[in-house]
Each structure stands twice: as structure tokens, then as C-alpha cells.
Structure 1
């Protein structure tokens, strides 16, 4: 069997399942505006290798659930609404708003834009502050942010359940991969297996997102010159920059493409026969701005602040740690 992921042709259900999973792997490893900014911010914000892997897992779990449902809908020939030109713009705006709200949340602001009814509902459904109900009440009164309080002298990581919520929303993003899954593979599946292409595509994406999240978490924990508090401080700072300002960038892009739909057509053709890399346009540059530019700015600014706050490993402490390890 010859596998062509650029223009898939196949025979049989098993080939369709395999191609769906392989497309998910490619989707997870190539720059994608619906996955990279969110996985990066939550993985780094967890400031650990295990936490990074968990961030990738939770985000892609929500993403996979949505893709499986939409795949079944596509099999039933009900997914045509995703082809409307303004659909992706609306997804950008919603994703951007959720990113920005989460970013300001992480930034430990006393006041940040939110809707109390929606916020309380999310707290209850996803049990974001389980075991800290008293401090949750203080947060709703704009007096404290419980996720940023110290527990046993250390800072708590950001709530990874929010990554699952982000995954559910981001899964509605539409591009070349969704076009293939929903309108090429899913319609050729039996009705009772219509969800499988979306499920396998999501699992392929999950595989790469877990690896990416692990890599992001490992990168941050290898900053040997920072204490645990320093790593936590820098991690939250990076997450704040990527989510807050990256979210604003998504909202601006969504509004701009609603007003000027032709913006979707401005692309640089690379000739690389890989989806997400063949044509570089607005989605690609959103990834660059959100992850690379804002992530680096957040890293530099908060690293400098961490050093000023003396969240660094003293030379004698480092030498003692080295002696103990030898």
C-alpha cells in the first residue's frame, strides 16, 4: 500500500484509519495555530516534564473528543457549516478570548475581564479549584487568586484542566487536515464508524502534543541557574505572555478576517508537499507571533525579574548539590 498524506487515496476501512492517524501525527508536529500556542503555554506553565506531558495530553484529549464528534457529523453529511468563510474567523475570536482570559488569570491580576456566571459554572464543572473553595470565593470577589497562592512554600502550577477546555474549542478550527478528515475520509465510512477518522486524527495529534509538551517542560526544568520558585515565576510569566497577548492577536486576526475575508488568500507557496507548510499565511504567522516572539519576550522579561528577585541558585548551593550527587 502506497501512503500519500498530501492527497490521500486508499481502499478499505483499515487504510482510512491508518491514514487518519498519520495525518494527526503530521498535524501535531507542524506549526499549527490551533495547537502550538496553547500546548506551549500550558506545558511551560506547569514547569515540569511530567506536567508538560500532561498539558499536551489534556489539551489533545479535548481536541480529540471534538474531532471524533465532528467526524461523525461529517459522515452524516451535516458538517457543511464549517465551509462558511467566516467560520474560522469566529473560532479565532473565541479561542483568542479564552486564551486572553486565561492569560490574565495566570498573571495574578486582582481584576481581569470575566463573566461571573460563566466563571462559576466552569469552576464547578471542571473542579478547577478543588479543595480551595474558600479562596475561590475570594477570587470571585477580586481579592485573591487561589491558583497563585503558596502551598507548603512553593507556587502551585496553573490549572491544566483549562487546557482540556481549550482543546474542545480549538478542535473547531478548520484547515487542510480537517478538510481531508471531514470531507474525504469520514463520508466514506459506515455510519457507525463515522467518528473513527476524527478519533484517530486526534490520537495522532495527541501523540505529538504529548511529546512536544514533554520537551517544553524539560527545556524549562533544565534552567539550572534558577531555583524552583524562579522556574515557577518564569514559567507563569511565559504562559501569561503567550496566552494573554497571543489571545489578543487571535481576536484581532479573527475580527480582521471577518471584515476582510481576502486576508485568508494571502499566502507564500513554499512547494513543500506537507499540509501547514505548503502555503504559509496568516495561521503560520500567528504561531510565530504567539509562540516564538511572545514566548521569547516573556522569557527574557521574567528571567530578568526572577534574577532581580534573587530566585537564583547560589554558587555554594550548586557546589553542595554537585558534591552530594557525586
Structure 2
């Protein structure tokens, strides 16, 4: 039987030899392409914050390599018969809570708001001093290690791809020495796609037709909003999943024989809320606001 004849990316069984690695790598690529809640919101957030193609590529690589390390570790543990330690029913909800908290914390770090007090001196017609509270916003680039932490933590999410890696491919390795290989190749398959996606998101952030500093403001505001509100959405999803597991298990079958696309449910909702509902919407609004400000400044300078 040829290698092509042994590959079944939907329900691989009786996989052996070279087919184990090829199957794992191709599944990783599919995982990176499909709207997966463990990858896309985080890659989008950090890649956009880099406001350049090069930084976006670097972000995708940093996140994905950490994700790969996690999958390699989990794959080795699965080959040792320890998969039950991290494949229990509520693990995804717990991961949602932790990832959501990390996203929220990162969002607050990127966009820091603090209250300032301005003292206005007495002017004619005024009888006393008064203080006006105002809010100032400081934008900070995310630290390089943030995507790595997110990648390692998010990798513990448990879905259809993880089931295949932990229960079929890793145990199929005849030596415990190679138990990590399916997870590592799966992660590398995801890396190929996520690095390209990170570069694309960085390019989108950079091609805004604005001055460099305005591009930076747009990118960081978009990243901060996506991380903050995406984090809230993830934490809410995890809490609801723990409290009402039957409610979040409701899905709609699509008939597609592609994992992550065969059923639509909470994972897709988290992707849509984070990337589309918050991320892209903020990107468009912030770009328009900066463009208006630029035109206003130009008009004032021309009029003066």
C-alpha cells in the first residue's frame, strides 16, 4: 500500500512508519488554516501589534514554536499512557479561563489607561479652584515572550486534532523515544500556516496609508482591544462551559469532513467575537479616526 493510500486526515487508524509523521504534519497545517480558537485570536492580536510584516512573521513563529513544544511534550506523555491527565472533559473550559486571563492581562499592558488631575487656575468670573479628572492612554508594545506564553498554554486545549495525536499517532510510535514526534510535527505544520498568517496580519496593520506613528497607534489599539475583549469572551466561555456544560456542547453540523469545520459551536463564536467582532472592527475604526485627525491637522496647517 502506498503512503497516499494510508493517509486519512479525517479518521486515521492503523497508521505506521512514515505515515505517522506525514499525517501529523498535514493535520497541523489544517489546524492552522481552519478558524481555531486556540490560535487565530492570539496570532492576530500579537501580529497586528507588530505593525509590520517582519514583526508579524516573528510573532507567528514565536507563538507557534511554543505551541509546538507543548504538543511535543503532550505527545510524549500520551505515548507513556498519561493522556488522561490532560484530556478530561472540562480541560478546554479550564484552558479558556487561563488563556482568557492571560489575554486580558496582556491587553491591559498594551493599552494602559490612568486618571490624571489637571489643576485649572482661577480665571475671571470663577470663585474657586477646581480639579478636572481626565483619562490618558499610554500604548506599549507587547513583550516578545508574551506570544510564547500564550502558545504554550493554549496548546493544552483539547479538540479533535488533539484526540488524533494523543490517542492514535503518539501511541502508534513503537518506541517511547519517538513519542514526541507526532506532536512536534503537528505543531510544525501549524507553524507553517501561522507564520504566514502573522506576516499577513502585520502587513495589514502596516498598509494603512498613515504616518508610521499613526500606524503604531492603530496597531496597538487594535491589539489591546482584541486581547482585552477577547480575553473577556474566553473567560466567559470557560465559566459558562464549567457551569453549564450541556449548553456549550450544542453545535450545528455542517457536513464538512474537516476538523474544526464539521461542527460550528462555541469555538467558532470565540474566533468571530475576538478576531472579527473586536479585532477587525477596531482596526477599521481606529484607522478612520487617525485619517480624520491627519486631515484635520493638514487643514489647520493650510489655513494658518
TM-score using structure 1 length: 0.80
Deviation of the 1:263 alpha carbon: 2.5
Tell me whether 1:107 sits opposite 2:91 in the alignment: no
Tell me whether 1:252 sits opposite 2:236 in the alignment: yes
| Higher alpha-carbon Rg | 2
User: Which residue matches 1:243?
Assistant: 227
Tell me whether 1:70 sits opposite 2:74 in the alignment: yes
Higher strand share: 2
Q: Matched residues in 2 for 1:180 and 1:53: separation?
A: 28
User: Which residue matches 2:182?
Assistant: 197
User: Which residue matches 1:221?
Assistant: 206
Deviation of the 1:14 alpha carbon: 1.2
Deviation of the 1:308 alpha carbon: 4.6
Superposed, which structure 2 residues align to 1:79-94 within 5 Å? Answer: 79-94=83-98
Q: Matched residues in 1 for 2:10 and 2:252: separation?
A: 18
Q: Which runs of 5+ in 1 are unaligned?
A: 112-143, 149-156, 316-326
Q: Matched residues in 2 for 1:89 and 1:240: separation?
A: 23
Deviation of the 1:312 alpha carbon: 9.4
Q: Matched residues in 1 for 2:17 and 2:104: separation?
A: 41
Q: Matched residues in 2 for 1:255 and 1:222: separation?
A: 38
| Contact 1:42–1:160 (Cα < 8 Å) also in 2 | no
- CA distance 1:312–1:293, shift in 2 (3 Å): farther
- CA distance 1:92–1:307, shift in 2 (3 Å): same
Deviation of the 1:274 alpha carbon: 0.4
Q: Deviations over 1:75-102 (max 9, x none)?
A: 0011113332211111000000000000
TM-score using structure 2 length: 0.85
Superposed, which structure 2 residues align to 1:1-326 within 5 Å? Answer: 1=3, 2=5, 3-110=7-114, 148=140, 157-189=141-173, 190-224=175-209, 226-310=210-294
- CA distance 1:199–1:314, shift in 2 (3 Å): farther
| Contact 1:68–1:197 (Cα < 8 Å) also in 2 | yes
Matched residue SS, 2:259: coil
Q: Which runs of 5+ in 2 are unaligned?
A: 116-136, 300-304
- CA distance 1:264–1:183, shift in 2 (3 Å): farther
What is the total number of aligned residue pairs between the two structures? 274
Q: CA RMSD in A?
A: 2.1
Q: Deviations over 1:182-232 (max 9, x none)?
A: 1111011120000000000000000000010011111222222x1101110
Q: Matched residues in 1 for 2:264 and 2:297: separation?
A: 42
More off after superposition, 93-102 vs 297-306 = 297-306
Q: Matched residues in 2 for 1:68 and 1:228: separation?
A: 39
Deviation of the 1:311 alpha carbon: 8.4
| Contact 2:256–2:262 (Cα < 8 Å) also in 1 | yes
